Amino acid sequence: MKPRIILDTTQLNLVINRLCYQLIEDQRNFSETVIIGVQPRGIFLAQRIFRRLKELENKQCAHFGKLDITFHRDDFGSDKILTPNETDLDFSIENKRVVLIDDVLYSGRTIRAALDALLSFGRPKDVELMVLIDRKLHRDLPIKAKYVGKTIDSIVDERVKVEWESEDGKDQVWILPLKAETKNK
């Protein structure tokens, strides 16, 4: 298969706006809401959502944080060690409404680990999951996202790559053969 774009820059920004409006539609109290991105790639969407909420409707979430799940993975030792990324949660999540954000939802194991890691910091009021891409086939665990950017039926031999303007030069989402690099686009 050839690499192909499933969300271009315009579409991706529309999706981000929609996800923000969905949060606003919930009529939540944003001063009680914290946005937490899952390391390493979920933090970029989380940052965008956090900023966009403010720009669109002047909704300021209480905090923005980054959560690393390396030490909570269920495949320690089976593969190679993953070196940890920074966890930055310098606020209490006690009784807060947490919106946990990652870029791609696939097996669900990352989110399982993220929930485990998150609860080490206290007991939030609730936790909701937001993902940009939901690869709805091949879920290993009973995990479902409340806010979804786009649902796709990708197969095992494919992978999804989310690129961000701040990191990769352009906002877009690719679907690639498992081993190909985005360079040969």
Partner 1 sequence: MSLLSQKHLLGIEHITKEDIKLIFETATEFKEVLQRKIKKVPSLRDITIANLFFENSTRTRISFELAEKRLSADVINFSAASSSTKKGETLIDTVNNILAMKVDMIVMRHPNPGAHLLLSKHIDAQIVNAGDGTHEHPTQALLDAFSMQEQLGDLKGKKIAIFGDIKHSRVALSNIYCLQKLGAKVKVCGPPTLIPKYIESLGVEVSYNAQETLEWCDVANILRIQLERQDIKYIPSLREYNIAFGITKKMLDSLDKKIVVMHPGPMNRGVEIESDVADSEHSIILQQVENGVAIRMAVLYLLAGKGS
Residue found under tokens 């939802």: 105
**Nearer to partner 1 (CB atom), residue 52 or residue 72:** 72
**Nearer to partner 1 (CB atom), residue 13 or residue 70:** 70
Report whether 34 contacts 91 (CB < 8 A): yes
Q: How far is the CB of 43 from partner 1 (least distance, A)?
A: 15
For residue 100 the two structure tokens come to 């946990």
What single DSSP character describes residue 145?
-
Q: In residues, how long is the chain?
A: 185
Report whether 129 contacts 112 (CB < 8 A): no
Q: How far is the CB of 87 from partner 1 (least distance, A)?
A: 5
What single DSSP character describes residue 140?
-
**Nearer to partner 1 (CB atom), residue 123 or residue 170:** 123
Residue ranges that bind partner 1, judged by CB under 8 A:
68, 70-73, 76-78, 80-87, 116-117, 119-122
Q: How far is the CB of 10 from partner 1 (least distance, A)?
A: 34
Q: How far is the CB of 169 from partner 1 (least distance, A)?
A: 24
